[in-house]
Structure 1
Amino acid sequence: MRHTPTGGAGSSGTASSDRKPMSIGSVLNVLREEFPEVTISKIRFLEAEGLVEPQRTPSGYRKFTAADVERLAGVLRMQRDHYLPLKVIREHLDALERGEQVQLPAPATPPRDLVEGVSDPDEERPTAARIGRSELLAATEVDETTLAGWESYGLIVAHEDGGYDIEAVAVAKLVADLGRFGLEPRHLRAVKASAEREAGLVEQVVAPLRRHRNPQTRAHAEATARELATLSVRLHAALLQSALRIRLP
């Protein structure tokens, strides 16, 4: 069993007062005092990612110690206050357990990219929140006719002021790459529709967080949306690979 890093849960009283092992339902009730958006699924997900290792009864039920609850609270706080991905959080906790002094980054605003691991870190692209049409054409190296075709199928969408979100560059390059395999914009309408449905599901989850009175909870909505988007992309990739393995054994 891992030891809880010092100060992992702060002073919110997240640990069990009687120090007895707790069920996952009891842990949920304790954590919700500070993290009202947390769910049992979230706790199970953090366990699956190796962030906490509860004991198991002979019948398979989880039993969380006070140290486990403190560790979970610390993980949730690092996600909420520092917008750190789970990989970085895990490395931070492991370093603390080795006795190393690790400084967390200052609380920051969430990055613009919602989906972790999708954008290419070496890719050069404009840094402005919005770009103009000429910048989009230059970044994607396509002509007006091609861009207009993508827009007619809703793959690239301009704002009312004529500008484009920075994500349009990545979308345009991917559409162009798929086109080299003979996939035309009309073939990609189903992909666009699927993305919009998934965005709707994410919005259903984070909408209550954005309406919450606690400003930290509202700020955490963006981090939650980013994590859900990442999981959705991973699920889509796994399902696609599974479907191709069945069709192309």
Structure 2
Amino acid sequence: MLRTPTGGAVVGTATADDRPMSIGTVLLRLRDEFPEVTISKIRFLEAEGLVEPQRTPSGYRKFRGADVERLAQVLRMQRDHYLPLKVIREHLDALARGEQAALPSGGGPRDLTDGGWDAESGRATAARIGRAELLAAAEVTESDLDEWESYGLVTPTAEGGYDAETVTVARLVADLGRFGLEPRHLRAMRAAADREVGLIEQVVAPLRRHRNPQTRAHAEATAKELAELSVRLHSALVQSALHIRLH
């Protein structure tokens, strides 16, 4: 319902049932297209003036369908075009005023390694992205990134640049930082991830050494499946431990 291929304005997608929604309901509506969005991210976008939900007398946020659509536009332009929030806000405000505002361009191909930039979709097509794209996508400063690198939370590739998944890592580290968790607190997560990777490598190593090319190709798919299962197990263990300790 919220999808649009260009990241521009969404037209005519408001639902007939436009009852006020809680922030949790908004999160569920956005999760299909943006599985990594969090409540803290929505609150951050509100603090940055990207969305202005109504407030009840007791202070609870109440979102409307138009608010959800606007949030989807913001998240889409971040994901697909690597635009900073200030540029996104100005663009959406211009559209709200009825102006025919063209979508601003993103970071451009000059900062992407391997020339991997699709001008039509605004997406990185290379396996690596440049430092400028990472800073813009994660909305962090050079000093933030330097600190994360010093703790091993973000690591550039041997050839330079960063793999595309690093954007997700950087955004999550930034979100955790808004709760007061500093890079030094997250070293244990980095170490745990490295241990999980070691276990996965033990499983797929025999497949990678196999003479059959199809078997070797199967190693990558197996590694991805094991990684997904590992992430799900980690999430379930954390949720279970929290439930036991908080109840």
Task: Output the TM-score relative to the length of structure 2.
Answer: 0.51
- Larger C-alpha radius of gyration, 1 or 2? 1
Please report how far the alpha carbon of residue 247 of structure 1 lies from its aligned counterpart in structure 2 after TM superposition.
1.1
Percent identity over the alignment is 71
Q: 2:70: which partner in 1?
A: none
Could you report, residue by residue, the CA deviation over 1:185-204 in whole angstroms, capped at 9, with x for unpaired residues?
A: 11100000000000000000
Alpha-carbon distance in structure 1 between the residues aligned to 2:211 and 2:141: 48
Report what 1:227 is aligned to: 225
In the alignment, structure 1 segments of 5+ residues that lack a partner are 1-116
**Ranges of 4+ aligned residues in structure 1 off by more than 4 Å:** 117-122
Deviation at residue 133 of structure 1 after TM alignment: 1.1
Q: What is residue 128 of structure 1 aligned with on the other side? A: 126
Task: Give 3-state SS (helix, strand or coil) of 1:139's partner.
Answer: helix
2:125 alignment partner, SS class: coil
CA distance in structure 2 between the partners assigned to 1:216 and 1:226 by the alignment:
16
Runs of 5+ consecutive residues of structure 2 not aligned to the other structure: 1-33, 38-74, 81-122
Aligned to 1:146: 144
Paired residue for 1:155?
153
Distance, in Å, in 1 between the alignment partners of 2:226 and 2:238 is 18
| Structure 2 Cα separation of the partners of residues 140 and 207 of structure 1 | 33
Distance 1:216 1:119 in 2: 33
Match for 1:138: what amino acid? A
2:176 alignment partner, one of 169, 175, 178: 178
State the Cα distance separating 1:127 from its structure 2 match: 3.0
Alpha-carbon displacement from aligned partner over 1:92-139 (angstroms, at most 9, x marks no partner): xxxxxxxxxxxxxxxxxxxxxxxxx97679643633211111121111
Map residues 61-210 of structure 1 onto 2, 5 A cutoff. 123-124=79-80, 126-210=124-208
Partner of 1:217: 215
- Work out whether residues 133 and 162 of structure 1, in 8 Å CA contact, stay in contact via their aligned partners in 2: no
RCO higher in structure (CA 8 A, sep ≥6) = 1
Task: State the alpha-carbon separation in 1 of the partners of residues 134 and 232 from structure 2.
Answer: 28
Q: Which residue identity is paired with 1:234? A: R
Q: Is the 8 A contact 1:158 1:164 kept in 2?
A: yes
